[in-house]
């Protein structure tokens, strides 16, 4: 948790609530996972205020999408993150069922969606905290455009993604298509998602979600 004053137990509750809010509307998006309408660039607005992309940051060109393969591990070198990936589905509320709380260092991948490295938008979610300690995506709000996210796949390839922006999306005006949809048709894209914004002590939940958007810029391995 970003506010270490929260009492023990609050972290688990707020994280569970945030997951439900985070993917409110994912059931709508999930019906057409491979056919999300392209609505143009999802740049930051008054409702999507965050780090964004400074105008002087030059990003590399995108690479041709890879074939489909299952993700096994996510590395974020600038944060020192090396996390195994587990496939997850949806819970009864239409939200991605996150990894168990006793696996705070594990990243969940929405297995009914796009495989990382393939064309489209792959979704990966991680807890920001548990009731006792920070979790795998605790620091992703500090990421900056140009940084790298590597996804190790079961075909022996490592898909290398470059971050293009980091946004904080207010939960009361959450737009599933804007968050989950591809920025550019035909690219391989990746979203890392966790909770963020201000903590509401009344509802015991965060006010927003942190969305790290990245796109494929290279690969290594066979």
Which is nearest to 116 in space by CA: 26, 30, 188?
188
Distance CA 153, CA 52 (A): 28
What count of other Cβ atoms lies within 10 Å of the Cβ of residue 129?
A: 25
Please give the pLDDT value at position 146: 96
What the block records as the tokens of 25 is 């509307």
Cβ atoms of 210 and 218 closer than 8 Å: no
Please give the pLDDT value at position 133: 85
Counting as low any pLDDT under 50, the low residues of the chain are: 1-50
Please give the pLDDT value at position 72: 98
Domains of the chain in start order, with CATH, are 10-220 (2.40.260.10)
Please give the pLDDT value at position 54: 63
Cβ atoms of 124 and 116 closer than 8 Å: yes
Distance CA 140, CA 71 (A): 19
Please give the pLDDT value at position 18: 41
Cβ neighbours for 138, distance < 8 A, ≥ 6 positions apart: 128, 129, 194
Positive/negative CA dihedral, 102, 6, 90, 41: negative
Predicted TM-score (pTM) of the model is: 0.76
């Amino acid at each position: 948790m970003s506010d270490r004053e929260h009492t023990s137990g609050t972290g688990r509750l707020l994280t569970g609530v945030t997951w439900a809010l985070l993917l409110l509307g994912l059931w709508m998006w999930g019906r057409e996972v491979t056919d999300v309408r392209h609505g143009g660039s999802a740049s930051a607005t008054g409702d999507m205020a965050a780090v964004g992309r400074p105008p002087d940051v030059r990003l590399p060109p995108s690479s041709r999408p890879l074939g489909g393969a299952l993700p096994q591990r996510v590395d974020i070198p600038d944060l020192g993150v090396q996390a195994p990936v587990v496939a997850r589905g949806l819970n009864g509320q239409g939200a991605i069922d996150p990894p168990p709380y006793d696996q705070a260092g594990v990243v969940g991948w929405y297995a009914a969606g796009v495989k990382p490295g393939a064309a489209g938008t792959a979704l990966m979610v991680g807890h920001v905290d548990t009731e006792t300690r920070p979790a795998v995506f605790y620091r992703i709000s500090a990421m900056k455009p140009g940084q790298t996210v590597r996804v190790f796949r079961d075909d022996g390839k490592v898909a290398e993604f470059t971050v293009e922006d980091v946004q904080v999306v207010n939960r009361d005006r959450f737009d599933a298509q804007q968050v989950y949809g591809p920025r550019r048709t035909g690219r391989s894209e990746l979203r890392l998602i966790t909770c963020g914004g201000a903590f509401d002590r009344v509802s015991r939940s965060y006010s927003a979600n942190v969305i790290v958007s990245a796109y494929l810029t290279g690969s290594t391995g066979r």
